[in-house]
Structure 1
Amino acid sequence: MPGPEDASTSGSSLPEPTKPKTFKELGLIDPLLEALNQMNFTKPTDIQLDALPHALEGRDIIGIASTGSGKTAAFALPILQKLWDEPKGLFACVLAPTRELAYQISEQFEALGSAMGVRCAVVIGGMDMPTQQIALAKRPHIIIGTPGRLLDHLETTKGFNLRTLKFLVLDEADRLLNLEFSEAIDKILKLLPKERTTYLYSATMTTKVAKLQRASLTNPIKVEVASKYQTVATLLQYYILMPFIEKQAYFVYLIHSLAGNSIIVFTRTKAEAQFLSIILRVLGFAAVPIHGDMSQSQRLGALSKFKSGSRKILVATDVASRGLDIPSVDVVINYDVPQHSKDYIHRVGRTARAGRAGKSITLVTQYDVELVQRIEDVTGKKMVEYETEAEDIAALKERVEEAARAAKFEVKDAENGKGRGNKRKRDGGGGGRDERDRDDDIVQAGMPLMRKKSKQRR
């Protein structure tokens, strides 16, 4: 099979002036132009400019582009345009590595297809199978799902198959090809019609992605708008060097100094994300965690609170580092330095999106210096030291230690199934107050303590 043609921005043979500049010039139909206008998508991104002409011609696409580049619209628009011409039942399937990304892709399909009456169904783990079976029975145009749950439906849901499918999309393909997904992907590919259009989008062209391309795409054209890992020019990148033993105090100082900003904090483990979010709540900050041990409804609820602004701090594992489009994130804090440079780039890509400014701050202990140097080598940018006040950090230590002890008790209670909320209900007190009420009380009561502490230092 011949290799993919190269349509990257660096290798295009078309003279620049002849390239389309607007969505209309790209040849999109009026219903899509209307939806794009309502969504304030006024100008195509680089990946959209390069991919859409080939996609609208019916070509298979390999799209290599960094996070926040507009990949979803790059594959959704040609699918919806073809659906307008052939409005038949189940039309396209999109596979995504995370549940949150699947919901986000569905929302974008529905928004872009609002003038067409497009119907989507999301099939992911952690949610009720019968409810999803009902949604599939209503003959949606687009199915968006995670590989494992889609395969469950293909094997067990009566009457459901993908034999008439016209489009297959693998989004974040480099992650889809991890060991946890590869077996399900292989089985799904065997159940699909060979006569279909396939789009494969990824941040990187790994050997696994190349292997999948050879197995499932027909004479694809390769569109690449970023040849190496890089961060955007509008991102300010800082570091704070500290002793490991004082890391929590430095972290709380940083959160306190950034109060009022929208912040995502990334941790390495699920337990740490939960623990830090409790510490912050005890200290009066409006924080909410998101990680893999939470139910799907809890994860969606946490995202909703953060997006709405009712919680200003999201403490997350790398489940939130890729794909999620949260427009107004002011600061990304790396509480733990990521082991891989590409994970750093995906994390900090949550801020400074779509031309906006943003900042990232990485907490660096004596054990992390080599990791930071590797990141700087890959990105080609040196982080700048973030100014701190040693006196203010020292004044916070005792309060942070108290909060950490309280957080340990709360985690232990939750593990034993003896949380305070359950005890109130058993004793007949509390009037059925839930976790959200308790969080709000902490937010109301804790901040004055922090302010009082600050005044005492002065």
Structure 2
Amino acid sequence: MPSPEAATTSKTPSPAPEEETRGEPPNATFKSLGLIDPLLDALNNLNFKTPTEIQQESLPHALEGRDIIGVASTGSGKTAAFALPILQKLWEEPKGLFACILAPTRELAYQISQQFEALGASMGARCVVIVGGMDMPTQAIALAKRPHVVVATPGRLLQHLEETKGFSLRTLKFLVLDEADRLLDMDFGPAIDKILKLIPRERTTYLFSATMTSKVQKLQRASLVNPIRVEVSGKYQTVSTLLQHYLLTPLKDKVVLLVYLANSMANNSIIIFTRTVRDARLLSIILRTLGFPAVPLHGQLSQSQRLGALGKFKGGGRKILVATDVASRGLDIPSVDIVINYDIPTHSKDYIHRVGRTARAGRAGKAITLVTQYDVELLQRIEKVIGKKMDAWPTDDEEVALLKERVHEAERLAINEIKDQDVKGGGSNRKRRREGGGADDKDRDDDVVEAGMPTMKHKKSRR
């Protein structure tokens, strides 16, 4: 089998245009794509029966040692598309630190690591996750044990490369840039540039992105050599099983309408997306005060709080996740019934990623976007991108009016609670944020629900 070096010749970055491929026939199997028996057994144990389109198109070229540009949306199976060829090469050459995967968020890094460990279990593949919000010395000890795969956010990885004695990526064989467009949207560009200077030029590189922006194309030219490009999503679109609605609301009644939606769909699994951390905190407290099992997920929580919140939601312990866009990309959260956009996204692609949390793997789902008098143009822009008009979500004006007083009182209590939290957190929170550790907000959801706060009487669920 050609080595990565043979496939890419010199790893000096070159602007040579990438080749394009349309991939294998749709009836390809994992075995026909060239995977070895230990990986076939692992795939069977995980109940992965048929390769997805991105896997069919990329695996043959990856197994030949080519650099890959994969253009595919979230949920397309791209993690396995880059994990499988890396693990197959590791089986042939089981040497030290072998691969590094860069991811934009901590949660996605943990998810990638879990898939590597599941696919490589019979091979003894060892992974370590290096992200902010966790103890640096503990991470340094894990790195010293010579894992095969490091999954990291760029900022924390660079910090270890610069500060952790004895740690380097000089023996690295594979580099993966996952969700590259988001990596660059989150201003990781300078950190990635420094990392590229500290790793071997002689390597195999995979770049996966939902979109090929000018920033991603620049990164491609800097990091890949003569790559194969595989593309399975020609344009942004939503799946046919997703029912998409909008709900017009005056700005002053926006919180009331959100509570109305939560109340009318009380037995469903719901993700509510907000634009800011403050709104994610505020809405989760309002909902919990009114008796809804809600938990927040945002970048100012400590890492243990973020993983705990995600675990409670995925495990069904909490029916409502109130999140910033930290949860909109890459995360595989099964069985989400409804996505509510409390704040309409300013970029249409962010809308696609948010609503992509529901109606996954052929299942049905609903997306409801709250639209104020200031958001109509954004709604029209999104409708143009997705190529369809959304339906208006019907409301019961009398029921909404009855909610107003209680919701406004809950909002007042929530604002005071956040002020108290911020005063108590004080300077230590600001220091932790500068160091990448997140805020020290107390995750109060158990306290509120179990202390017997007044619970809303859920009215008839019409849907």
TM-score by length of 2: 0.90
2:444 pairs, out of 429, 435, 443, with 435
Look up the match of 2:216.
Answer: 209
Look up the match of 2:18.
Answer: 4
Look up the match of 2:337.
Answer: 330
Distance 1:250 1:179, change over 3 A: closer
Contact 1:76 1:109 in 2 (8 A): yes
Q: Distance in 2 between matches of 1:401 and 1:45?
A: 48
2:269 pairs, out of 262, 270, 290, with 262
Distance 1:179 1:109, change over 3 A: closer
Look up the match of 1:145.
Answer: 152
Q: Distance in 1 between matches of 2:224 and 2:308?
A: 37
Contact 1:64 1:203 in 2 (8 A): yes
Map 1:334-353 → 2, pairs under 5 A = 334-353=341-360
Matched, 1:252 2:259: yes
Q: Distance in 1 between matches of 2:349 and 2:195?
A: 28
Q: Distance in 1 between matches of 2:446 and 2:241?
A: 38
Q: Distance in 1 between matches of 2:62 and 2:142?
A: 28
Q: Match of 1:446, as an amino acid? A: P
Look up the match of 2:180.
Answer: 173
Displacement of 1:440 in angstroms is 2.7
Q: Distance in 2 between matches of 1:229 and 1:114?
A: 35
| Structure 2 gap segments, 5+ residues each | 1-13, 427-441
Question: Any idea what the Cα deviations from partners look like across 1:70-117, whole Å, max 9, x if unmatched?
Answer: 111111011011111111111000001111111111011111111111
Q: Distance in 1 between matches of 2:203 and 2:285?
A: 49
Distance 1:190 1:20, change over 3 A: farther
Map 1:70-109 → 2, pairs under 5 A = 70-109=77-116
Q: Match of 1:93, as an amino acid? A: C
Q: Distance in 1 between matches of 2:218 and 2:300?
A: 32
Contact 1:20 1:49 in 2 (8 A): no
What is the identity percentage for the equivalent residue pairs of Structure 1 and Structure 2? 71
Moved more, 351-360 or 219-228: 351-360
Displacement of 1:437 in angstroms is 3.8
Question: Any idea what the Cα deviations from partners look like across 1:401-453, whole Å, max 9, x if unmatched?
Answer: 1111111121111122199xxxxxxxxxxxxx9935413325x5433x424xx
Look up the match of 2:284.
Answer: 277
Matched, 1:295 2:309: no
Q: Match of 1:301, as an amino acid? A: G
Give every structure 1 segment of 4 or more consecutive aligned residues whose post-TM-superposition deviation is greater than 4 Å.
none
Q: Distance in 2 between matches of 1:41 and 1:179?
A: 32
Q: Match of 2:132, as an amino acid? A: G
Map 1:62-77 → 2, pairs under 5 A = 62-77=69-84
Contact 2:287 2:294 in 1 (8 A): yes
Displacement of 1:177 in angstroms is 2.1
SS at match of 2:79: helix
Aligned alpha-carbon RMSD (Å): 1.7
Contact 1:285 1:446 in 2 (8 A): no
Displacement of 1:180 in angstroms is 2.5
Q: Distance in 2 between matches of 1:40 and 1:410?
A: 46
Contact 2:269 2:338 in 1 (8 A): yes
Matched, 1:46 2:53: yes
Q: Distance in 1 between matches of 2:425 and 2:146?
A: 45
SS at match of 1:314: strand
Displacement of 1:274 in angstroms is 0.2
Q: Distance in 2 between matches of 1:345 and 1:33?
A: 33
Q: Distance in 1 between matches of 2:446 and 2:226?
A: 56
Look up the match of 1:410.
Answer: 417
Contact 1:20 1:26 in 2 (8 A): no
Q: Distance in 2 between matches of 1:389 and 1:113?
A: 53
Q: Match of 1:35, as an amino acid? A: A
SS at match of 2:275: coil
Question: Any idea what the Cα deviations from partners look like across 1:218-273, whole Å, max 9, x if unmatched?
Answer: 11000000111111111111111121111111110100111111110000100000
Look up the match of 1:398.
Answer: 405
Contact 1:283 1:450 in 2 (8 A): no
SS at match of 1:43: coil
Look up the match of 1:446.
Answer: 454
Look up the match of 1:423.
Answer: none
Contact 2:289 2:453 in 1 (8 A): no
Q: Distance in 1 between matches of 2:237 and 2:457?
A: 38
Q: Distance in 2 between matches of 1:261 and 1:364?
A: 22
Q: Distance in 2 between matches of 1:228 and 1:235?
A: 17
SS at match of 1:84: helix
Distance 1:434 1:360, change over 3 A: closer
TM-score by length of 1: 0.91
Q: Match of 1:26, as an amino acid? A: L
Distance 1:25 1:137, change over 3 A: same
Contact 2:288 2:445 in 1 (8 A): no
Q: Distance in 2 between matches of 1:31 and 1:264?
A: 37
Contact 1:95 1:147 in 2 (8 A): yes
SS at match of 1:410: helix
Q: Match of 1:37, as an amino acid? A: N
Contact 2:341 2:369 in 1 (8 A): yes
Question: Any idea what the Cα deviations from partners look like across 1:351-407, whole Å, max 9, x if unmatched?
Answer: 111221111110111111100000011111211111211111111111111111111
Displacement of 1:156 in angstroms is 1.2
Displacement of 1:182 in angstroms is 1.1
Look up the match of 2:433.
Answer: none
1:388 pairs, out of 395, 409, 418, with 395
Displacement of 1:178 in angstroms is 3.5
Distance 1:390 1:376, change over 3 A: same
Q: Distance in 2 between matches of 1:186 and 1:376?
A: 36
SS at match of 1:417: helix
